[in-house]
Chains A and B, each alone.
Chain A
Amino acid sequence: MVVSRLIAPKFPGGGAKMEPYESGEPTIGSTRVPFKIGYYLFALVFLVFDVEALFLFPTLVLMRPAGEGTLPGISSALVFSEVLVFLAILGFALFYAWRKKALEWE
């Protein structure tokens, strides 16, 4: 981008060239229009899931070593049940969002 800034030609601007592109029509009103609340809901549900997924990482990394018995005090049954709990919480969250129609797009 720096190189381009140095070698790119500059043409006299002004007029319609510098206006926002709206298929040739001048923009009506501000661009900061309120947009659908749906996006916000999806972002919120995503946040729940992403944090859960991040917490799943350390648990899942332990699963193989626990199964091979190389971790003293942690059995594979314990790790497996933890994964079950995680997935149950995630599943419940998804079910709840689904039932509350947070995933609908009207």
Chain B
Amino acid sequence: MIDLTVTHPIGDRIREVLPPLPAALANGALAVASLALLVTVMAILLVWLERKVCARFQARLGPTRVGPFGLLQPIADALKLLMKENLRPTATDMVAYYLAPLLPITGSFLVLTVIPFDHNLQVANPGAGVVFVIAASGLGILGTLIGGWGSNNKYALLGSMRSGAQLFSYELSMVLCMLLVVMAAGSASLREIVLSQQGTVLDWWIFKLPGAGFAAFLLFLISSTAELNRGPLDLSEAEQELTGGFHTEYAGMSFSMFFLAEFVNMFAAAALGSTFFLGGFLAPQIGVHAVDAVLSFVPGVIWFGLKSGFLIFLYMWFRWTFPRLRIDHLLALEWKFLLPVSMGNLLLGATLVTFGLLLP
């Protein structure tokens, strides 16, 4: 049977010292605290990376003044946003207006709880982890819709409607790509999915399902770009047309919660991509014993970070390479191309798995 418990040396030590209930509470608090730390550090790092990568693509330098290589720039930004006046326009619906910024960040935080960062580094490992991920990421869509409605502003309303249509459309092809890997791995637990890719690099699902795996990876990249509201599919924000879309009326910290959620979401999506297709925390093995020994000496967290970092760089690359689509083109792309293709891809994968046509 599949073992779903997550053990970690620190957690075990706490369990030895304390009686069961306080130990469980302490472990939970520790997990939440470390995740919160991770989220903060990740967001700061990604804001910096985004600005640097963006600048390099436009032959600029990006932030250089605050700290070494401008590394402290996002912290300065965060402090500035924290000191901003919390403005709530009189026309807004108070409950909806204040609830909306909290939902996306909650959703991405929940997604991070089931991601295996290393062999024993995961907050929880539910058997239906993939379903949990999909459910939790749905909170982000809700936040967008509620925020747009609660703002009581036409720009915001239009932006949130577009964004809702875009987010739930692209969720479908993303789910179908995840389903392909779930089928091939024979489990919906994220750790089992990673462990099913043990072996050489060719055992990663991106390569192991001939053709179907790579196609699913590409489809996943495109649809998660749309899910993340990132260019070229960032219609919900579309600064030039909608003056910021659903968060037009937000200022100060409530605006930064949306912003923060966007960056944490990007990390979560990249982490999911590397978990599903690139072997997650497993070290890449090429079949030569000496090299493999060195590669597997590096801890899994580092490999996980490198793979996710690579995917994040791909997202940024996308953003500065393609122009933004129009809303009807965007929906046509999903419903008339990505969705049928990912359904066909799933069928191809099912055939491959049933008739045992995986790469050896």
Contact = CB atoms under 8 A, between A and B. Distances in A.
Chain B interface helix/strand/loop/mixed: helix
Contact of A21 (B85, B175, B248, B346): B248
Interface residues of A, number: 54
B90 interface: yes
Interface in A23-49: 23, 27, 31, 33, 35-36, 38-39, 42-43, 45-46, 49
Contact of A50 (B175, B186, B340, B356): B175
Contacts of B254: 1
Contact of A46 (B169, B185, B347, B353): B169
Contacts of A50: 168, 171-172, 175
B131 interface: yes
A61 B130 CA distance: 11
B43 to A, nearest CB: 15
Contacts of B331: 42, 103, 105
Given A19-B89, A35-B158, A103-B336, A8 B83 contact: yes
Interface string A56-76: 110011011101000000001
B340 A54 contact: no
Contacts of B168: 42-43, 46, 50
A35 B346 CA distance: 35
B183 A31 contact: no
A17 B87 contact: yes
A22 B153 contact: yes
Contact of A42 (B169, B187, B336): B169
Contact of B354 (A22, A23, A67, A91): A67
Nearest to A59: B183
B282 to A, nearest CB: 19
Contacts of A65: 186
A57 B82 contact: no
18 contacts: A1-B102, A4-B82, A7-B83, A20-B151, A27-B154, A33-B157, A46-B171, A50-B168, A60-B183, A61-B186, A63-B354, A64-B184, A64-B353, A80-B350, A87-B346, A87-B350, A94-B343, A105-B331
Nearest 6 CB-CB pairings of A with B: A64-B186, A4-B253, A105-B328, A60-B183, A20-B153, A18-B90
